[in-house]
Structures are given as structure tokens and as C-alpha cells.
């Protein structure tokens, strides 16, 4: 059995392995998003973000350290509010989480602030809006991912800006290539 | 009809490649990775390397800093990450062609590095590489995990 098969087998059978895997992705990508937004914002120093989010600078430093995934939802809300962006917490299949990781680029990651969010400022989401276009099959093994987000960054009708353009909806077919 | 999502795994753009220090037949980085790291730490390390390789400016790498003191002579840097409630450090140097060579893995509490002498070991290995008494081997970044 090769290394990939072994890891897949453990992911399928072991709660601890799945938890470790998920924690690692979040532990890398959440700090990376915060760092990306901070360095592109008008508060490039950790101390500035700390002041805006009413936290200590040392806490911001920890939040930006890879692996520091124990941020609470309240902490993420504070960070998002300081950046004037939204934040999504959503359970997804492993394949979607992997696609998020593979497509994520700290260099390119940015989110429109509420002041420039014309779509949000102009209208609320109603029936038939892009928010309702994707449904996840019930049998999918959903797991959590967290992304700082803004609706105007959606592409091709997806409500998740972390999902790359290479993800497409299909009326039929396999839900995931993760386990192939 | 219920829509389903099909994920096509496209290759990310990597600006950097990572490599392990190798001396003779010994790969101390792989030994550290497979022998000393827990499953949590291995996943965290893999994810860190994958994300870091996509960040063009190394000064923007999360947990990155150049070391002072003796390691500064060899431009040794460290990458920090947290796993198992431990502060891990990976020590490395850059080589031409945007290649990051990992010299030593350790963890850190207070002013104590475990294994002891990690900084000295990294300096010695950097020197060995400069004097071509050691080589490197590429570290694979797995897009399928």
C-alpha cells in the first residue's frame, strides 16, 4: 500500500486523522488570510489591526502564526469586522477543502470592503440569487472550512470565493474526486 | 435535480521549491518528519510548505524570520508553526533558483531548542552545503492532499 493509500485509509477510518488534517488546513489558511488582508489594508502593522479589532498585538501575532487554528468565532468576527469584510464558516466535502487550499494564494487574496461592496450596498439577496445556486449532496462527507469573504468576489454563481474557477457544477456524476 | 460539485484539481503556482539537507545517505529532515513529528504536526508542516511555496516574497511567509547571532553568518532563517501545542521551528537557507533548503527541524520553548544544539547543527549543515560536503533532495509538495 503506497503512502497516499495509507493516508486515505486513515482519513476514512480515523477521527483523529481527519481532525488533524482539517486542523492543519485551517491552521495554515486562516492565518495566511489574516496576514494577506492586513498587509494589503490601511493598517499594515499588527498593532494597527490589534487596535481596530480590540485585541492585543501579541494575539494578532499568534493568530498569524501557522498552526494557531484555535481562533474562536468571536475572534474571527472581530478580525473580519476590523477589515470591514464578512466571514464564512461552512462545512464542505474534503475535496472542496483541498481545492480551497490548492487555489489559495496569499499574494492574490483580497476582499472588497463594505464601503466598496456595491452589490451589498445596493440590494439584498433574494430568491434566485447566487446564494442559492449550489447544493451539496447529502451524502457528502462535510467538513468545516473558514474563509474571510465578500459576496462580490463570487464567481460563476458560487457563494464561496475560495472555490477556484476550476470547480464546476454538474447535474450528475461524482461528487468528489478526492477519493479517486 | 440536485446539483453536485465536481472538483477538478488544478496545479497551483509555486514560486519556490523546498529541499531537504542530505549528508551521505542520511536525510535528517525526513527522519525528523517521519520519526519525530506527530500526525498533527506532519499535516501542519505539509500544509505550511504548500502554502509557503506559493508566496513570492519570502518576507511575507507566515512565521518567517532570519536568525541573528552565529546563524546570521550563513543567512539561516526559521519558519515557525504550532502543532500539538508546541512551537516548532524549521531552520533553512536559500539557494539560487528560489530553492529553500531545510537544514534542521526542532521545537522551541523559552530559549531552549529541542534537540539541543539545533542552531549549531543548522550552521554546520549550511557550511557543509557551501563546501559541497553535503547535498539536497527535493521535497515533494502533494496537491492531492
Q: What is the pLDDT of residue B13?
A: 87
Q: What is the pLDDT of residue B4?
A: 57
Establish if B12 belongs to a structural domain. Answer: no
Q: Calculate Rg over the CA atoms of chain B.
A: 16
Domain holding B102, by residue range, is: 17-138
| Residue B31 burial (CB count, 10 A) | 12
* Tally of structural domains, chain B: 1
Q: What is the pLDDT of residue B102?
A: 98
Interchain contact, B7 vs A167, CB within 8 Å: yes
The low-confidence residues of chain B, meaning pLDDT below 70, are: 1-11
Establish if B85 belongs to a structural domain. Answer: yes
The low-confidence residues of chain A, meaning pLDDT below 70, are: 69, 124-145, 147, 149-180
Establish if B72 belongs to a structural domain. Answer: yes
Residues in chain A within 8 Å Cβ distance of B62: 28, 31-32, 35, 64-66, 106
Q: Give the nearest partner residue to B62 out of A25, A32, A168, using CB atoms.
A: A32
Q: From CA B72, how far away is CA B70, in angstroms rounded?
A: 5
| Residue A58 burial (CB count, 10 A) | 10
Determine contact, residues B91/B67, Cβ cutoff 8 Å. yes
* Tally of structural domains, chain A: 1
Interchain contact, A65 vs B63, CB within 8 Å: yes
ipTM: 0.89
Residues in chain B within 8 Å Cβ distance of A65: 62-63, 80-82
Establish if B44 belongs to a structural domain. Answer: yes
Percent of chain A exceeding pLDDT 90 equals 63
- What mean pLDDT is reported for chain A? 79
Q: What is the pLDDT of residue A111?
A: 97
Question: pTM for the full model?
Answer: 0.81
Q: What is the pLDDT of residue B111?
A: 79
Angle at A178 between CA A94 and CA B38, to 5 degrees: 60
Beta bridge partners of A142: A93
Interchain contact, A68 vs B82, CB within 8 Å: yes
pLDDT, one tens digit per residue, over B16-42 is 999 999 999 999 999 999 999 999 999
Establish if B32 belongs to a structural domain. Answer: yes
Beta bridge partners of A93: A142
CATH number at residue A142: 1.10.260.40
Domain holding A8, by residue range, is: 3-153
Angle at B110 between CA A34 and CA A28, to 5 degrees: 25
The 8-class DSSP code of residue A86 comes to: E
Chain B residue with minimum CA distance to A64: B62
Q: What is the pLDDT of residue A68?
A: 82
Give residues 73 to 92 of A whose Cβ lies within 8 Å of B. none
Q: Give the nearest partner residue to B62 out of A64, A134, A164, using CB atoms.
A: A64
Distance from CA of B69 to the nearest CA of A (A): 23
pLDDT, one tens digit per residue, over B108-118 is 888 788 999 99
Chain B residue with minimum CA distance to A180: B144
Burial of B123 (0-12, 13-18, 19+ CB in 10 A): buried
Q: From CA A18, how far away is CA A34, in angstroms rounded?
A: 24
Amino acid at each position: 500500500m503506497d503512502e497516499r493509500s495509507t493516508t486515505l485509509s486513515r482519513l476514512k477510518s480515523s477521527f483523529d486523522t481527519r481532525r488533524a488534517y482539517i486542523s492543519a488546513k485551517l491552521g495554515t489558511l486562516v492565518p495566511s488570510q489574516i496576514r494577506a488582508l492586513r498587509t494589503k489594508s490601511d493598517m499594515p502593522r499588527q498593532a494597527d489591526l490589534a487596535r481596530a479589532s480590540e485585541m492585543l498585538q501579541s494575539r494578532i501575532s499568534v493568530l498569524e502564526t501557522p498552526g494557531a487554528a484555535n481562533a474562536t468565532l468571536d475572534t474571527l468576527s472581530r478580525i473580519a469586522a476590523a477589515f470591514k469584510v464578512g466571514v464564512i464558516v461552512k462545512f464542505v466535502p474534503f475535496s472542496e477543502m483541498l481545492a480551497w487550499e490548492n487555489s489559495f494564494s496569499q499574494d492574490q487574496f483580497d476582499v472588497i470592503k463594505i464601503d466598496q461592496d456595491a452589490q451589498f450596498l445596493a440590494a439584498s439577496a433574494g430568491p434566485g440569487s447566487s446564494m442559492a445556486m449550489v447544493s451539496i449532496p447529502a451524502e457528502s462527507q462535510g467538513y468545516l472550512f473558514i474563509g474571510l469573504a465578500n459576496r462580490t468576489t463570487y464567481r460563476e454563481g458560487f457563494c464561496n470565493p475560495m472555490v477556484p474557477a476550476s470547480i464546476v457544477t454538474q447535474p450528475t456524476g461524482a461528487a468528489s474526486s478526492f477519493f479517486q | 435535480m440536485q446539483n453536485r460539485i465536481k472538483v477538478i484539481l488544478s496545479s497551483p503556482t509555486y514560486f519556490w521549491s523546498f529541499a531537504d539537507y542530505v549528508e551521505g545517505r542520511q536525510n535528517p529532515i525526513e527522519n525528523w518528519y517521519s520519526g519525530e513529528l506527530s500526525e498533527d504536526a506532519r499535516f501542519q508542516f505539509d500544509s505550511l510548505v504548500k502554502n509557503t511555496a506559493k508566496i513570492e516574497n519570502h518576507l511575507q511567509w507566515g512565521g518567517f524570520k532570519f536568525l541573528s547571532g552565529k546563524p546570521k553568518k550563513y543567512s539561516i532563517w526559521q519558519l515557525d508553526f504550532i502543532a500539538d501545542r508546541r512551537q516548532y521551528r524549521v531552520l533553512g537557507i536559500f539557494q539560487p533558483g528560489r530553492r529553500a533548503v531545510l537544514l534542521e527541524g526542532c521545537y522551541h520553548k523559552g530559549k531552549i531548542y529541542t534537540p539541543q544544539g539545533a542552531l549549531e547543527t543548522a550552521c554546520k549543515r549550511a557550511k557543509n552545503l557551501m563546501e559541497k560536503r553535503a547535498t539536497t533532495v527535493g521535497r515533494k509538495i502533494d496537491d492531492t492532499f
